[in-house]
């Protein structure tokens, strides 16, 4: 009898231990790696930035042949964040500034009465990875843009669209939000 009880206890302990491992160790979302001026959300999915006098230069990479984007300071989910979103098509770079018009929607600054202040530096698509470099003013004066100040902490949204989504509208295949000091 004693032996039977000990056996059951052992089974219970093993079940509990494996449940704890599964609950804690989900490998689905890799931890982002943040170093000075750079965030790596996952392999080939990065944001890097550099401040100069008037502007901030960003370089985004993502494992997609579709759109790639960053956003700043939503009030809830995607709402009220300012976005820069872009893609490469036939070697040309298309970039646009957007604003979060709802919890899961965004529209171009221009369509809302604001201004498009993003300047293309370069863009490439190679081996399924898109790289976009662009500059935005630290303070454009547009109500649909976030003022970017070195040393301040922002909620940074990162997202990219499915392969081939050469547009500003397809839903993301990956997205994440993190706190970052610029
Ligand atoms: C292009 C069209 C887009 C559509 C149709 C769209 C749609 C949605 C929808 C339906 C959700 C809620 C469900 C989900 O988590 O998937 C969501 C959440 C989210 N989206 Fe988008 N999105 C778009 C673009 C973007 C862009 C450009 C970014 C940022 C760079 C972004 C960042 C996020 C984030 C971070 C969340 C999670 C917010 C949270 O739950 O806290 N999205 N989006």
Domain ranges of the chain: 29-181
CA torsion 77-99-86-130 (nearest 10°) is: -20
3-state secondary structure of 18: helix
Atom from ligand 1 closest to the CA of residue 167:
1
As a whole number, mean pLDDT of residues 113-136 equals 98
State in Å: Cα 25 to ligand 1 middle. 25
Q: Residue 70 CA: which ligand 1 atom is closest? A: 30
Average pLDDT value for the chain: 89
- Residue 24 backbone phi and psi in degrees, to 5: -90, -25
Model pLDDT, residue 82: 98
pLDDT of residue 18: 46
The minimum-distance atom of ligand 1 relative to the CA of 76 is 41
Residue nearest to atom 10 of ligand 1 (CA): 104
pLDDT(167) > 50? yes
CA of 122 to the centre of ligand 1 (A): 25
- Helix or strand or coil: residue 104? coil
- State if residue 62 touches ligand 1 by the CB under 6 angstroms criterion: no
Q: What is the pLDDT of residues 45-58, one digit of tens each?
A: 999 999 999 999 99
pLDDT at 19 over 50: no
Atom of ligand 1 nearest to the CA of 168: 1
Distance (Å, whole) CA 129 – CA 31: 20
User: pLDDT tens, 49-83?
Assistant: 999 999 999 999 999 999 999 999 999 999 999 99
Higher per-residue confidence, 29 vs 152? 152
Q: Is residue 107 predicted with pLDDT exceeding 80?
A: yes
Q: How far does the centroid of ligand 1 lie from the alpha carbon of residue 75, in Å?
A: 13
Structure tokens at 97: 């500034």
Cβ atoms of 158 and 69 within 8 Å: the answer is yes
Whether 143 contacts 109, CB under 8 Å: no
Q: CB of 60 closer than 6 A to ligand 1?
A: no
Closest Cα to residue 88, out of 134, 137, 42?
Answer: 134
For domain 29-181, say whether CATH 2.60.40.10 is its number: no
| C-alpha 137 to ligand 1 mean position (Å) | 24
Say which residue, 15 or 39, is predicted with more confidence: 39
Q: How many CB atoms lie within 10 A of CB 112?
A: 14
| Contact between residue 94 and residue 87 where contact means Cβ atoms under 8 Å apart | yes
């Amino acid at each position: 009898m004693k032996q039977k009880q000990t056996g059951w206890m052992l089974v219970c302990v093993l079940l509990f231990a494996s449940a704890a491992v599964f609950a804690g160790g989900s490998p689905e979302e890799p931890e982002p790696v943040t170093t000075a001026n750079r965030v790596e959300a996952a392999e080939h999915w990065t944001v890097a930035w550099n401040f100069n006098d008037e502007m901030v230069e960003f370089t985004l990479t993502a494992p997609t042949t579709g759109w790639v984007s960053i956003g700043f300071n939503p009030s809830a989910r995607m709402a009220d964040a300012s976005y820069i979103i872009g893609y490469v098509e036939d070697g040309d770079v298309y970039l646009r500034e957007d604003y979060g018009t709802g919890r899961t929607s965004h529209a171009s600054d221009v369509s809302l009465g604001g201004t498009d202040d993003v300047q293309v530096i370069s863009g490439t698509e190679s081996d399924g990875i898109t790289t976009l470099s662009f500059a935005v003013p630290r303070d454009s004066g547009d109500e649909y843009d976030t003022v970017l100040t070195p040393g301040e902490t922002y909620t940074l949204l990162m997202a990219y669209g499915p392969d081939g989504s050469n547009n500003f509208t397809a839903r993301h295949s990956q997205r994440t939000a993190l706190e970052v000091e610029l």
